[in-house]
A and B are shown apart, each in its own frame.
Chain A
Amino acid sequence: MARIIVVTSGKGGVGKTTTSAAIAMGLAKKGHKTAVIDFDVGLRNLDLILGCERRVVYDFINVINGEASLNQALIRDKNCNLLYILPASQTRDKDALTHEGVGKVLDELSKDFGYIVCDSPAGIEKGANLALYFADDAFVVTNPEISSVRDSDRMLGILSSKSRRAERNEEPIKEYLLLTRYDADRVKLGEMLSLEDVQEILSLELLGIIPESKSVLSASNAGIPVILDEKSEAGQAYADVVARYLGEKLPHRFIDGKKGFLRRLFGGRK
């Protein structure tokens, strides 16, 4: 049985797809057969981030409608042969997603895969609800700003009330916080919420802080998940996230930011 992870946030533009691509790749690199599904029907992006947009033939909706088999639609990643992508349809909308259809696809994938990562669309409508409904774990992606935190809080309410686990009265979805686009310098200046500010409202288990980094955008444009850029801080941060999710105990990094050039030369003062 696969473990189903939903990457969700409520708010758009906080880094859900970047995160989905990175952690799916990270899990696959650790030797777990992983599928990542784009639930953003009509606004397909995941294939671009993973650099497989030119190999899309069939999509998620084709599989749901029985027009293609799962094996026909799944795209094997070119960097890691344990990672498979199920792209969204660009020509349809969220109404094409059905409860039964999604359930069937996830059931079938579960037989063969270790992890299934569901990249949720923004919002709290059908696409987002279906992406989280079958989940076992939720990665709540939040930016250190007040509207993102509130939307995440709203999403947590939905996770605890509208999932399959909630409906069946099973153990609730395990919720993790991923704080993305974190700029420690701006936090120090009081321009951005700190980790403590966010945790005061959300109080979730922190899986990692992803620092704001130019490498994220360049990686997206190149179609290579940022986790493969081992030199970048964002890449390292995502690698930590995957390791922590799989049970490793690692100290949190990137909370205090980089040391400045001079401080690096003369050693930091505390």
Chain B
Amino acid sequence: MLNTPPKLEFKSSTFFAPILILYTNDMVAIEQALHDKISLAPDFFKDSPLIIDLREVNKLNLDLDFVELMQLLRRIGFFPVGIRGGNEQQNKQARALSLPIDTVRELGNSIVIGEVQKPENTQQPPAQPEVIAVKEPVQPAAIPPISAATILVTQPIRSGQRIYASGDLIILSQVSAGAEIMAEGNIHVYNTLRGRALAGVHGNTAARIFCFDLQAELISIAGDYKTSEDLNKQTYNHPVQIYLQNHALIIKEIA
């Protein structure tokens, strides 16, 4: 062969990571709030990369122990991969910890922990690895916009597979026992639902679950859940919709 194969190449790509926006410097409160979030979708947050947004803390002139924060996040199981909106001292600390620093563009409304996509970011210094972040305005946490990344799945969701939608999730095939489907918005399953379905995982209490044949292992809306043991025999094996009313899950047959 005349040409030796290349040793490496650079490629540009965009990927997703949650951004953690802090409103307090109280480590105990932060830890508690994170545990609450994680309990909603443990697998989703496990080993998740994370960008830390410090603008709100700095707006309030709160003194944040940056090193302690990093230790806390790593202990819980996150992998901080960068910060933004830090002050001079925080940026210095971040550099000392080998964390990339993202220059901030003005954002619209923010979500507390959200999955956001980054368009081309031309302001970024060229030497930095391309990390996540920044997008057009996002609605406040409670009501994610319906149009936000509705995901349509036509393949069967097999045991052990996980699907996450930052908007609505529509599934045309069966969802097997041992599969997990999660959406920040509504979940529609136009087939048999045997796995776990978690709608409104970021706290949207208006989210609903619809399915043609309810045989789920677990259903949850905004953290309120029922396991198959708690499911009423009358709705089992029936087409249903599931919604929240006064913190109670209502399972209603669709006539």
Contact B160 A157 (CB under 8 A): yes
- Interface SS of chain A: helix
Q: Does B156 contact A (CB under 8 A)?
A: yes
Contact A157 B158 (CB under 8 A): yes
> For B161, what are the chain A residues with a Cβ–Cβ distance below 8 Å?
157, 161
- A156 CA to B159 CA, complexed, in Å: 8
Contact B160 A154 (CB under 8 A): yes
- A240 CA to B155 CA, complexed, in Å: 29
Interface 1/0 per residue, A72-116 and B, CB below 8 Å = 000000000000000000000000000000000000000000000
Residue of A nearest to B191 (CB): A203
Within the complex, the shortest CB–CB distance from B7 to chain A, in Å, comes to: 16
Within the complex, the shortest CB–CB distance from B1 to chain A, in Å, comes to: 16
Interface 1/0 per residue, B151-191 and A, CB below 8 Å = 00001111111000000000000101111000000000000
Which residues between 207 and 221 of chain A lie within 8 Å of chain B, taking CB atoms? none
Picked from B158, B177, B192, B194, the residue with its CB within 8 Å of the CB of A156 is B158
Within the complex, the shortest CB–CB distance from A34 to chain B, in Å, comes to: 29
Known contacts A201-B176, A203-B174: A153-B159 contact under CB 8 Å: yes
Picked from B156, B177, B179, B194, the residue with its CB within 8 Å of the CB of A203 is B156
Q: Does A150 contact B (CB under 8 A)?
A: yes
Residue of A151, A158, A201, A203 with most chain B CB atoms under a 10 A cut-off: A201
Residue of A153, A160, A161 with most chain B CB atoms under a 10 A cut-off: A153
> For A200, what are the chain B residues with a Cβ–Cβ distance below 8 Å?
192
Interface size class on chain B is 10 to 19
Which residues between 172 and 204 of chain A lie within 8 Å of chain B, taking CB atoms? 200-201, 203
Give the number of residues in A that approach B within 8 Å (Cβ atoms): 12
- A228 CA to B242 CA, complexed, in Å: 55
Residue of A nearest to B161 (CB): A157
> For B157, what are the chain A residues with a Cβ–Cβ distance below 8 Å?
157
Contacts A150-B159, A157-B159 known; 17 new A-B pairs at CB < 8 A: A150-B176, A150-B177, A151-B159, A153-B159, A153-B176, A154-B160, A154-B178, A156-B158, A157-B157, A157-B160, A157-B176, A161-B161, A200-B192, A201-B174, A201-B176, A203-B156, A203-B174
Ordered by A's residue number, 20 sampled pairs between the chains whose C-beta atoms are within 8 Å are A150-B176, A150-B178, A151-B159, A153-B158, A153-B159, A153-B176, A153-B177, A153-B178, A154-B160, A154-B178, A156-B156, A157-B157, A157-B160, A157-B176, A157-B179, A158-B160, A200-B192, A201-B194, A203-B156, A203-B174
